[in-house]
Structure 1
Amino acid sequence: MREIKTNWTNEELKIYILIYCANANFSESKFEIDFIKSKIETSNFEKIHQEFKEDNDYQSIQKIQLSIKNQGYTNGDLGILFKEIKELFLSDKKYDVLEKNLNRGLSRILNN
Structure 2
Amino acid sequence: MKTQKERWSRTELEIYILLLCANVDSKETPEELRLISTKVDEQSFDRIYNEFTRDTEEQRLEKIQDAIAVNDFSHKELENFKKEMHRIFFSDKQFSMMERNLDKILDNIIY
TM range (shorter): 0.7 to 0.9
Aligned to 1:27: 27
- Percent identity, please: 32
Cα distance in 1 between the residues matched to 2:100 and 2:3: 28
Aligned to 2:82: 82
Instruction: Say yes or no: does 1:109 pair with 2:87.
Output: no
Aligned to 1:42: 41
Q: By how many angstroms is 1:60 displaced?
A: 0.7
Cα distance in 1 between the residues matched to 2:93 and 2:58: 28
Cα distance in 2 between the residues matched to 1:27 and 1:5: 29
How many pairs were matched up?
108
1:49 alignment partner, SS class: helix
Aligned to 2:11: 11
RMSD between aligned alpha carbons?
Answer: 1.7
Does the CA contact (< 8 Å) of 2:32 and 2:91 recur in 1? yes
Q: Any gaps of 5 or more consecutive residues in structure 2?
A: none
Does the CA contact (< 8 Å) of 2:2 and 2:8 recur in 1? no
Cα distance in 1 between the residues matched to 2:105 and 2:58: 13
Matched residue type, 1:58: E
Does the CA contact (< 8 Å) of 1:4 and 1:62 recur in 2? no
- Write out the 4+ residue segments of structure 1 that deviate beyond 4 Å after TM superposition: 3-6
Q: Any gaps of 5 or more consecutive residues in structure 1?
A: none
TM-score, normalised by the number of residues in structure 2: 0.88
Q: By how many angstroms is 1:4 displaced?
A: 7.9
Q: By how many angstroms is 1:42 displaced?
A: 2.5
